[in-house]
Structure 1
Amino acid sequence: MSTPLQLQPHARIALIEAVKGLGIILVVAAHLVKFGTPGVPDWYTIFKFKVYLFHMPLLMFMSGYVFRHANHHTRALTDFSGFAGRRANRLLVPFLFLGVITIVGKWFSAMWFPIDEAPSSLVAGLASIFINTESSPVLTIWYLFVLLVYCLVTPALFVLFRRSWAWLGLFALAIYFIRLDDILYANRIVQYYVFFVAGCIAADREFLQRFSASRLRFAAMAGFMLLLLAPWNRDYGLLVCGLVSCLAVPAFVDVLPERASTILAYFGRLSMTIYLFNVIFIGMAKVAYPMLVPSSYQFFGLLLIMTFVAGLFGPILLKKTVDLVPALNKTIGKYLS
């Protein structure tokens, strides 16, 4: 069992990385096969739906936690242009780069191979990066754009709500129920802000330290598992399961054996790289699967294994390669950290 956080201050960051690691593993696991694919077993469809009820709320919660922990909400007010430039460079640049590369790659590859969500045309594909985003081939990287918006608007909203995270949290909860069109990810901006602000509130009140020593963490874990078994629709399930996961998942990771937490933290430190490139490597594995595996040996479980390994470890190998080439490390390495 890991050391209680209040006794070892640096463990707070280690726990954050471990939670991010578990979150990014779930992201990959949920990206293996898209909803509605013919022949997919019911168990995977159910698994995918349940994971989608909490994995991105959890990652957004951790982003909010780090945002408040680093005091970005006040630092941004002293030099907003510099802060905005750094955030845009960190989030918008890889979002645009990967969006364009993915669209062009899917459009070009679809001439020879069956490609999931290939754009009907190059122009339509590029437009879908910002318009009708729920059907965009690059919807999987929406988190980067939405997080950038949160980082830019939260300092001003914090001041507007009289520097009260509680009031800002109520505002975020209220806009959760607003339904907007999927233009510039507006629908996701209003729906996921409550999880980002919840992370800010948790950091402001030192949640990770306090909850680590609380007996309530076991109740949170048990309650979360029961909630996942309930027949939720997406909107209410996302809100309830997403918020409870912000209590239960860190509690679960905190009671894992140290070796398991260390492994998760390793993936957490590489979460940006994995998030950016997992879908590309999964797509490559899907193309290679029928070429490498004779039809008599093909089955769904093997496809899942191949795509999962490719989606999780392919980006890591890419990161290692970039690190070894000084020119690449200098130009794109900073976006993979």
Structure 2
Amino acid sequence: MQLKPINQQVVAIVGASSGIGRETAIRFAKKGAKVVVSARSQPGLESLISEIKSFGGDGISVIADVADFGQVKAIADRAVEQYGRLDTWVHLSATGVIAPFDEITPEEFKRVIDVNLTGQAYGAMAALPHLKREGRGALIHVSSMEGRRSLPLQSPYSASKHGIEGFLDSLRLELIHEGIPISVTNVLPATINTPYYNKIRTKIGVKPTGVPPYYQPGLVADAILYVAENPTRDFIVGDAGKILDFLHRISPQLTDTILLLIGFQAQHTNEIKSEDAPDNVFEPIPNGNYDKVRGDFDRLAIPSVTDWIDKNPPVKYGAIALGLAALAIGTTVLGGAALLSAMAAETSKITK
């Protein structure tokens, strides 16, 4: 499957007013893509388009709530109206409620699912007819490592992210079966330093935080731009995310034990915040507050080595091959030693 170079793409970025989406839109535009950015925050979109145009980029904005299919469809239709086609759809919109499950209302739970899961499905529904007409393209859905391993105090968010993985696995198989060359990628970031934790609703009495370590939004944006040109099934962003995925596959009980030790307190800051504070669950936060790329946890952010390896397949598969070879050699040596020991023992019995 061959995808267009980024400088030849028309890209829709949904959830672009802040965080990963904002950084991704800027990087696409700087590489020459025509971008259509969308979110609920008009001030955030206006400042983003202004920034894109300041360096000569080409972009337009569409205000939309992803829980409404008509509004999501309007994003794709506007892209085609303005630029004649759509090549890549990047979907990032998300919200959340940090609280014990029995303190979350039915309305809150449903809203998180509507935005985080149903909104992702609406995005694919809106984009697919245009991508099929072009004969190729990319659906890039930004999920979370919570799609692989749930965290306490985040039941609706974790449920929605698990749902994204199931939805994309099904859709991907259907497209392959039909022989349609559309790449479907699930990007699963670890904890990222975005304003997400400033925006969401909290019922734990304090401003919430993710479970460290943090990674900067640019790391995820780099992954998104990579998969926009290189068809990729899944891309876990952040070393910690890959470690968590590995541990959970080996022993869910071990992961439970680790999260019981750190998963609750690690989501609390020392900053008092009531559940009545402004949040973005049902409406955007007024005045464009927090419409920026980074959150408040720069000091906790670290680099990630494995992301570079994942973007360089020869290195990645070379390392895997070396590891398998070393395992095979080690097994052969140990097996040979055991065989020689057994033969020596038998010889000793015969000569006695």
TM range, normalised to the smaller chain? under 0.3
Whichever of the two has the greater Rg, that structure is: 2
State the structure with bigger RCO (CA 8 A, min sep 6), 1 or 2: 1
TM value normalised by structure 1: 0.26
More strand by share: 2
TM value normalised by structure 2: 0.25
